[in-house]
Chain A
């Protein structure tokens, strides 16, 4: 799997993401800097990692979404490349309009940092096919702005099209309809607040995140085969 991890000033989960992808795919991802204006290859996966890009100035993800590299990421998304945005990466993808809605300050004001149970809502996307619909998995969250907001009509559309990927069992941040992760209309962009890259080996306390990356590899092999 040819992949890339984008690093912005203030990203802090880029290394974790790269380590997780290499562990599961066997190939180290390219590391791409925010100021790069183009992606040097056609990647199978582009990961937009967590952190506090640009110090969360203006709004979480707002500055990163307008950085030079994101124009290339948007183009890649339009061409069908798998794009995974985790935590700040999810915020960046909504700010870049690759995903609908916005991520607001947690309704309880507090930064939430703990392992949370999620329900898998969609098991037929390229990110989730190794899970089972309705399955409960444990993935850590660590965020201040994870309160997913979208208009009622957008929420209905997301639900109707099966684009809610994951839902919180317990609503930890005030998200509309307990939404933890959503897919784009074409299904090749996933944004989620929980960190799958932080649960890929037992040493981290769990491995439920690993199957997200395994799903991507499975899809890739099926497409190639």
Chain B
């Protein structure tokens, strides 16, 4: 089973990389960009018997730093064999 995990900085935590990307977009002439927040995307492939609790623990113990980051877990629908 494929699990997608999105790790993002908590609201209110300054994101210097997002600011730099925003600045670069402005420099390329794209107007109308209000804000840019950068984050991390992690895809993990786990056995079907891995519990939701374990996946949550993986996020809390390693994949996200709970001091500064939030995470969101998305389960991918099983792919249908062709």
Which residues of A are in contact with B by a Cβ distance under 8 Å? 58-59, 62, 66, 94-95, 100-102, 104-109, 147, 149-151, 174
Q: Is the CB of B16 within 8 A of A95?
A: no
Total contacting residues, chain B, CB less than 8 A: 12
- Chain B: minimal CB distance from A189 (Å): 16
A149:B68 contact, CB within 8 angstroms: yes
Bound Cα distance A102, B68 (Å): 7
Do A58 and B67 form a contact, CB below 8 Å, given A107-B14, A107-B16?
no
Closest residue of chain A to B13 (Cβ to Cβ) is A149
Q: For A66, list chain B residues within 8 Å (CB).
A: 62
Closest to B63 in A: A58
Chain A contacts of B63 at CB under 8 A? 58
Q: How far is the CA of A109 from the CA of B38 in the complex (A)?
A: 13
Asked if B16 and A174 make an inter-chain contact with CB atoms under 8 angstroms apart, the answer reads: yes
Identify which of residues 25-39 in chain B touch chain A, using a CB-to-CB cut-off of 8 Å: none
Cross-chain contact A101 with B67 (CB below 8 angstroms): yes
What residues of B have a CB within 8 angstroms of the CB of A151 in the complex? 67
CA of A150 to CA of B20 in the docked complex: distance in angstroms? 22
Interface string of B1-45 (1 = CB under 8 A from A): 000000000000110110110000000000000000000100000
**Within 8 Å CB of A174, what residues of B?**
14, 16
Shortest CB–CB separation between residue A111 and chain B, in angstroms?
12
User: In the bound complex, how far is the Cα of B67 from the Cα of A147, in angstroms?
Assistant: 13
Q: Given the complex of chains A and B, what is the CA–CA distance between A94 and B66 in angstroms? A: 11
* Chain A residues in 8 Å Cβ range of B20: 109
